[in-house]
Amino acid sequence: MAREDSDAIYAYLMAQKPAAVPNVDADVRFPYNFRFAVRFWDMLFLEDGLPDASVGQSADWTRGPYLANALCHCAECHTPRGAFGQLDTSRTQQGEALGRVGAPDITPAALVARGWTAADLQAFLLDGRRAARIGVR
């Protein structure tokens, strides 16, 4: 993440009023309640980067993967997972069902096939309206 972006996020968070919410005890279940188990999982599956779902070299294109991978973490919901909870990076952004919530395929080809344009995507990322208009959940 770029320093100016992390500084902007920090400034925004510091400008928010604190919420009067009591702390809750951690309820992390086995095996995640053992830090060494998480470190072992990290050694097996944690990758420092994601493959891109599309190809390009323009400034706009390189900004897209930066926003999707560094700031928004889109892959966390929109990429299928393996048996041990790891991201299936061979199917980046191709959609996943997370319990009762479905995260749709958001690869460029899938968006175009559902009728999305670059302007629609920009508007959706600004205010969330496009999804309701074409029935994407």
**Residue 28 domain-assigned (yes or no):** no
The per-residue pLDDT for 135 is 47
Q: State mean pLDDT over 85-110.
A: 86
The per-residue pLDDT for 13 is 94
Higher pLDDT, 131 or 100: 100
Q: Residue 86 and residue 46: Cα distance in Å, rounded?
A: 8
User: Which pair of structure tokens corresponds to residue 109?
Assistant: 């080809």
Split into its structural domains, the chain has a count of 1
**Residue 117 domain-assigned (yes or no):** yes
The per-residue pLDDT for 110 is 92
Q: Would you say 77 and 60 are in contact if contact means Cβ atoms under 8 Å apart? A: no
DSSP letter (8 states) at residue 115: T
DSSP letter (8 states) at residue 106: -
**Residue 32 domain-assigned (yes or no):** no
Q: Would you say 62 and 77 are in contact if contact means Cβ atoms under 8 Å apart? A: no
pLDDT beyond 90 at 10: yes
Q: State mean pLDDT over 4-10.
A: 91
The per-residue pLDDT for 55 is 67
**Residue 6 domain-assigned (yes or no):** no
Domain with 69, as residue range(s), is: 54-137
**Residue 132 domain-assigned (yes or no):** yes
pTM over 0.75: no
The per-residue pLDDT for 119 is 84
pLDDT beyond 90 at 48: no
**Residue 115 domain-assigned (yes or no):** yes
Q: Residue 61 and residue 48: Cα distance in Å, rounded?
A: 20
Q: What pLDDT, in 10s, does the model give residues 49-76? A: 666 656 677 887 777 777 777 777 888 8
